[in-house]
Structure 1
């Protein structure tokens, strides 16, 4: 059974009715994200001076794969991650608190489009004239995409230095502002402190489009080499071309497969660099994010045309 919720000009569905009048104290709602499987529901709020992203756990949302109690526990635990990992391109936590049985986290609003906005896929299917953010990103000049990638290198390097591993990090964790070309990381809720292991087997958090082999094996170590693989898979997504059948094969076979060199947009040296990052053999990958970046930066800047910009790990 679904319940329709109407908050002025904002409408969405839930499994159970909830009185959202408490949101009025924060400001005016201008958007809602109600289809997350995490069990959270989020709102864009404008208080007249600032805009905020408000994440709420503990309600019966329509797509949740968790109980409200599990969602609350998870969001509470995630707050320490946001407090411990500081980066210029990470969404900024303002405050978090309990309100009855629900838990609320308030972040500063960041402009941008999610690079995997699955809640809009039906809209894109019904309106083929609308270009999804992921496709718009792939249409950007190489130089702009490379600049965005350097932000990801910088962020994941910071994650490692703060003694964390990135879990469930994918294109759905990334916002890109097409007007300013700023890349923002918007969701790190499932990151874990080192040492970390896969305690869930095949169902370990993450999309099969990008998961490393060890993220399917219960008891396997999840570490910086895992994050190297994840970023390598993302780079193939950003600069490689895949058919729908190629993507479906990852789900069917529980394995990421890189594209061929012929379907790669950058140089062979860049291709070989990223190919090493997604080695099935963990020992064959780069041992750290910094080592991966050094190899990437060299390959990119040694390439004909030099489509990027050399130097330090990128930020805003």
Structure 2
């Protein structure tokens, strides 16, 4: 293992890697080196702004992917971010080959990630109900857009949600497995957090479609407003009407769910309106 220090920020790698290109973008102020994705990421600041740099090719400590696999996967994400540009999606600014790797450059988001692997998970769960409703609405609106663009959301979970607790702004930050329709399960167990995944995402050869994404949105509601994997009414913090709607969204039988994200959003939004 190699420990590197760049401008006072230290991190570990399995082997050495050249990061000289970072100085083109600014001064490093943060590193994200503990992910198992095969990427290493940096926050950098220059005279104009802050940027988020995601790099494939460096031999990260926790990754089981080869450098070639990581590079090819990161390259494939560029078109997804470009196709799905949206006010609630982190903006991709640049991408290019680097020595023995690949680089993508994004805007820097001031906020905290909801993912369980980060320190803010409990802060999200303890937010006032109104703030949770606003976060959830932003998530639903973004996924309406995803569907309209002909994509299926794969591997959406709390680690994709960024939130600024001061400005109360929600952003989506990680969509690299989102895929153009049609999507067939070729894995058996698809990428993702089991807390959010529909039954068909564990079944080889099944189609992952809009009703599958309805399930993901329902599971997200239970994570924000209920007991997460405990989907009992006793753990639900919002109105019982909304509980019934979310419960239908996560029905094990696909045909019993809402047919579309739009249909689910309308049911949810109408129920919210009737409560105000």
TM-score by shorter chain over 0.5: yes
Q: Deviations over 1:197-240 (max 9, x none)?
A: 111112x1001121110110111111111111111111101111
2:211 is the counterpart of 1:230: no
1:85-96 equivalences in 2 (<5 Å):
85-96=84-95
Aligned structure 1 segments of 4 or more residues deviating by more than 6 angstroms: none
1:12-161 equivalences in 2 (<5 Å):
12-116=11-115, 118=117, 120=118, 132-161=119-148
Structure 1 counterpart of 2:251, from 258, 279, 282: 279
Distance 1:277 1:25 in 2: 47
**Equivalent residue, structure 1, for 2:270:** 298
Distance 2:82 2:245 in 1: 33
Structure 2 counterpart of 1:210, from 196, 200, 206: 196
SS of equivalent residue, structure 2 residue 176: coil
In the alignment, is the contact (CA less than 8 A) between 2:7 and 2:27 conserved in 1?
no
Question: What is the TM-score with the length of structure 2 in the denominator?
Answer: 0.97
**Equivalent residue, structure 2, for 1:270:** 242
In the alignment, is the contact (CA less than 8 A) between 1:94 and 1:107 conserved in 2?
yes
Gaps of 5+ in 2: none
In the alignment, is the contact (CA less than 8 A) between 1:55 and 1:104 conserved in 2?
yes
Structure with more contact order per residue of length (Cα contacts < 8 Å, sep ≥ 6): 1
SS of equivalent residue, structure 1 residue 302: helix
RMSD over aligned Cα, in angstroms? Answer: 1.2
Q: How far has the Cα of 1:258 moved from its partner?
A: 4.5
Distance 2:272 2:237 in 1: 12
SS of equivalent residue, structure 1 residue 82: helix
Q: How far has the Cα of 1:144 moved from its partner?
A: 1.0
Equivalent pairs, count: 276
Gaps of 5+ in 1: 121-131, 243-256, 307-316
Distance 2:108 2:87 in 1: 14
